[in-house]
Structure 1
Amino acid sequence: MGRLIASALLGLALACAPGYAQDDPLDARVRDIERLAVTAHWRESEAAIAQLESEAPGFSPAHRQRLEFVRLRNRALAGDQAGAMDGLDQLLQQDLPVELRLRVYNTAISVAGNLERWSQAFTWLSEALAYLPEAPGESAGMLSSASYLHTLVGETDKARDLAMRALEVVQPLNDPRALCLSLSDVALAEDHAGRFAEAETWRRRQIEACSRAGDPVFIANGKYGVGKMAARQGRHAEALDWSRQALAEFERAGFTAGVWSARLVMAESLIELDQDLDRADAMLDGTLAYYRGQQAHLAIAETEELRARLAERRGNLAAALAHFRAGAEAAAIAERDARERRLTYLQVEFDTRLKEQQIALLEAEKELAALQVTATQRRQWMLAAGMGGLVVIAVLLGLLLRHTLRERRRYRWRSEHDSLTGLYNYQHARRLGEQAFARARAEGRPFTAVVLDIDRFKSVNDRHGHAAGDEALRALGTWISEEVGDGGIAGRSGGDEFMILLDADAASAAELLQRLRARIEPIAVFGQTVRFSISSGVCQAGERADDLEQLVHEADQALYRAKHEGRDRVVHADEGGAARAPGGGLVVVGSGIDFGRHISERCLSEIREADVVLCLVDPFSLGMIRDFRPDAIHLGVHYADGKDRRDTYREMDAAIMEQVRTGKRVCAVFYGHPGVFADVPHGVVRKARAEGFPARMEPGISAEACLYADLGIDPGRYGVQSMEATQFMVYERIPDNAGLVLLWQVALAGDLTCTRFHAEPGGLQDLVDRLLRWYPPEHEVILYEAARLPIEAPRADHLRLRDLPRARYQEYTTLVIPPLRPAAREPGTVVDGRAERIA
């Protein structure tokens, strides 16, 4: 949220009210306007300026410059920061008193930072520092500006040091306004450094000091900061209250950027608290439109992430994935902007050091001039040393530039090519293919796609080792590259699969494949001879394929037919496309809870080799599956708000069996373990077997397995009861309170309609009332949610049994009830003179 913080800190420069010593009436009115500009809505100071100009038009140049400065600050507060920056630049061209000039520099630096014109901001900071010896009283303000800029370029430790130095300057002055600004600088640096608890402490001190100073913008900024830090520490109810206060005060002060920042924190808190989601949705829509207008990419990324979380909470997984990807794109742009800020900072640092060297040379020349005897010789020596230093710097810069260009070319090559084979990677091959396909269609030329892979590649790895498999892929990639040359696009799709796109007809593609197959020969790896063959599918653009994705899909299907027909052959998409090899079947696999870490190689192989893949997984797992199986079918589309889940399950069952009955090899991927708390997987396996199709289930890592690992619980110590929460209530199940009890899908407790996807306090209270028969209300229980991404942490909230109705729930939240009392005998205790043991 760099742009959000920058906008909130605009007030740093805007709130520096001057304190001139003139006592004439006109000067007193100008001072009143300057104070009004930082204690009330900007429109009030604008109105006061207009009134003063109508009553006393004869201003001195100094008064006019001070009023123009107030106007430009108001213009920035109103949202026209670009216009304010241009005006401040023109004002700095005038002959200004030193104190006023330094205040103008402070404001100009803040506005330039908000507009990301980093070179200008650092230039102004350098110019301002030159005036500081003439006005040492302004040192705190300049330290604040320097801290602000260093925060925005990522130098958080240096920024905090500068802010603490400014705080040391203002603390003895007993000036609440100066203390208010310095405290906000320290809080900002701590926030950017990720020290949220420390930042919250400084924000609370800021609110106290700014309240004494009567600065509405910085009071609101402090409350916004406390709310944001509370949200970062998981205290979302408190964050919602603080952000509401900040929003109201930003609106009263007319600070547009602050209003949108506060709304973003409010929306996040509402989503996390599962409250008023429609209002959160409306806030995010408005916030996204505002930040897109401001081109604030980091704020756009954060807004899109919140929209993804909101869509996921509502069960709209497709929208959640779309928002997640939009957020990732905005985050990439923000990262690029951050690198540009960093580069600008380093360039200014370099220029500053170069100027310091030049100043040192001039001083050295003066000293040499004073030494009459050796003046000429020493001057020549110093000039030679300086020139030599410049030459060395120029050479070093040239080498650095050359190295940077070489690294950029290398990184770009690596981002576009497969590191093992040297061919294009799948994403870049598809990108180039889209362009080539469009040109071919526009010019009426034939275009053909080829998909090929190594026959029984897994057996190559199993028999000869992965080094042999890698060498086979490397050799095949070399042969493909040499045969295709500049006449087409060749890439590795993933695993042992390759794709070739040709500006030619299917006959030419077949000739190329024949030459390629003729070149394949045994390879030697660690004294072993490895032999392999390839199967290929070919499809030419035409009636069967009107776009590249369909063209590649048809070629992929032809490859599957080549596998069914015996491998080591080339099959065209138009050769018996309707006929399929016999022997269809079904395999149900589990994706695990965290797909990237839990999915097994066996399950991945089943997904890759299947004719049809159907998935009921979370959006992130679905996205990763579609990276290598873009034709995967998402079963989640059968869900709908208010729809009976039993109808949904029947539709999923029918969709899977429809594919099985066509004789295809079908792989159905389900979240976690496919056989745990899942009706559809067991149902389709039974149906397929009953109809004579081979069907089996591959296990996956379940939420229960993650629970034992994350919570450090051994189910063998006291035993465990594991049941669905509604089943526990409806069938009057009696828990064993001497052992561990797990209640699954506790958010849906008591739902007999099978239409609800969210928790209801009434159902949860009924569950608590039932559990109170066996447990005291103070008994500590755990709400558990397994981590679904490597960057997430599992949820394990410890709370009292009686507090369950007020807790936060997801559809997949599990209630863990530890034993109330230990079992009668612990393993290993002595009974009747002998020690019991558990083998």
Structure 2
Amino acid sequence: MMQHVYRLASIVALALAFALAGGSAFAGDQQEAEAEVREIERLGISAHWRESNARIKELSSRLDAFSPEQRKRIEFVRLRNVALAGDERAALTGLAGLLKQDMPAALRIRIYTTAINVAANVEDWPLAFSWLNDGMSYLPQAPEGAARLLTVASYLHTLVGESEKARDLAERALHQVESGDDPRAVCLAVSQLALAEDHRYDFPEAERWRHRQIETCSKAGDLVFTALGKYGVGKAAAAQGRHDEALEWGGEALSELKAAGFAAGAFSARLVIAGSLIATDRDLDEAEALLNDTLRYYREQRSDSAIAETERLLAKLAERRGEPAAALSHLNSAISATEAADRIARERRLAYLQVEFDLRAKEQQIALLEAEKKVAALQVAVTKRRQWLLALGMFALLVTAILLLVLLRRSFRERRRYRWQSEHDSLTGLYNYQQVRKLGEAAFAQAREEGRPFTAVVADIDLFKQVNDRHGHAAGDEALRSLGAWIRETVGGRGVTGRSGGDEFTILLDADAEEAAALLQRLRDRIEPITVFGQTFRFNISSGICQVDGQVDTLEQLVHLADQALYRAKHEGRDRVVCASDTASGETQGAGLVVVGSGIQFGRHASERCLSEIREAQVVLCLTDPFALAMVRGLRPDAINLGVHYAPGKDRRETYREIDEAIMQQLRAGKQVCAVFYGHPGVFADVPHRVVRKAREAGIPARMEPGISAEACLYADLDIDPGHRGVQSMEATHFMVYDRVPDTAGLVLLWQVALSGDLSCSRLHAEREGLQALVDKLLRWYPPDHGVVLYEAAQLPIASPRIEHLRLSDLPDARYEEYTTLVIPPLGELRDDPVREAEASGRA
């Protein structure tokens, strides 16, 4: 019996030994398998997707050795690679099938995160939001996945235009993972926060987060998101006008995104590079190649918003090259793509609102059931609960009031912050250009009303570009920050200080020029060397001063005179202060007049000479169309509009005399005057010729610069060569009043046809009687059905010229503007000169 017991014990021990040995071998196999799965997961985020795909293919023959969870993790990496390779539809189908299988909650949340991103990328918004809600239900089982779902929820809200909510979700995600040990979760949260700022168009803030994205994602070993961070920095730099930086960052991003095999990201980087090349007007051929390649890709992907952005860049490129037709074609394509993108955005928004509506409906249904339950309970002891409910209601009102106060306080703080940002320069903390002008206008008016001295100072850093070139843009920024602080410290509360743009600063003081000069000397004494990144440098400033006198009527004029004094300080050697009054006596003897033409489209037709004259003149007077006037005032806000002298029913001859006098008055005051007239100032324009003659008669130098006239546009738009048949060009009323015979064998142009027969010079509209009289005279030489053209040149680049073909007899019933031109094509063929023929026959 004892032997049997011992034998049984030895068998059990032997079996246990075999079991332990087999268990140890199995555990070793599982550890090896887990190491291989983790290596595949690491390669999936830190290397090109082909590397992890290659590992997966190597394991395909022995997948049975892996646990079901490990096989699902491998399949998840494979499907993510399919999406990265560009086949997002196939990836979405695979992810949907994978989510139907059993798996741990933590893995399921990871798969939901990627699946939601892919669904959003293919515009399947109902599925994306549905998966987001499904993923939320697994958080109680895997609370560590909350940050991932918050990050992807932020991404969805960014895409549907809920930028503020997207930013809030991303911040919550980052707050949850910052103190943890998952570097990739931090990388994803920071990346989404940067994207939310990008969509809020807060590019400085977006750029700050993009730098942090590069840092965190590099630590996490995520190749794709590190490269996307560099792309984001390049995009933000380009949006802020720093195109050299944008090119550098965009190039790095493109190289790394190609290395990661992320096609969509690589094409986005191409757009940043192409846009900066166009903005800096260099390597336009390379920009065109990049854009054409990108356009083909986005059309294959049917990404309308990206197509629209690419077409807009192609339009800018064509405009740079002077190809208006190509620019217009690309602009039209961009508009069409934008409309399609807007439709998709509306569908996206509708899906979001539908999901929101379903959630609220479910919440309301639950609330209704709970309310019915409470009502049933309350019916049992309504008297006892009444006082409790009253106290609860009072408490709720108190909580609501507290919440409202908190929200109001927060709203007040935000409004105050936004208002400060809208009024101040972000780099120096001084007022921005608009706020300086606003506060300066009020101070200027009050000083004039009270008879107090008022002085404008314009200052900038000498050779500021050299500071950036030698020491870097960070040094340039630090120089501007420091100078802003020294100006604020020196001026204190004695005036309005602001940054006008670039390295230029404006100071408006309730003081005379002498006090302003003393203040500037204190400021110059305050400037000290600056050290940035171990490099120490110093800079000087030049300043112009102008005090209000009897000839200055507006703040714009005062600042302009101070600006001219600054220019003189630059020309005299820099590092000095020049007062406008120092040379005022000499300027009164330096009066001069130049008359320039704005062309028909100022933005396209105004020559560099014209723009230079406008910038350099002391006084600019304009008689142009409203669009040209607005653009001139962009260069010279103090430009005077001569169009105010016109009035309905007023004799135009009186208007012309008033315009003459307005120009001569400035000349007699010793000013350098630039008079800007519509089109060509010497074509069908009495005032420019007359005022030039008057100025010369007064001994004042005067000249006229040509411009593009409506007649020049007419030849181009109607494809007419005046050299073929010759041209007879007359004012319509002049033709009617005088004995003029049209040359029917050549082209005849009649200008201001709407005012035909107006001898009062007071009419600004067409009258049928005058037009009929014009037609009656033309019928002496032309048949009634002779084809004519009514022509009006296009005043805007986006507009088309009016070219209306009709019969001569239909002219009285046509539509006219004051500037409509009648074009009468030749009648019949040219005939040989009979005298020349006779002479030729005699010689024969």
Q: Give TM-score scaled by structure 1 length.
A: 0.45
Q: Which has the larger radius of gyration?
A: 2
Q: Which has the higher contact order (CA 8 A, sep 6+)?
A: 1
TM-score by length of 2: 0.45
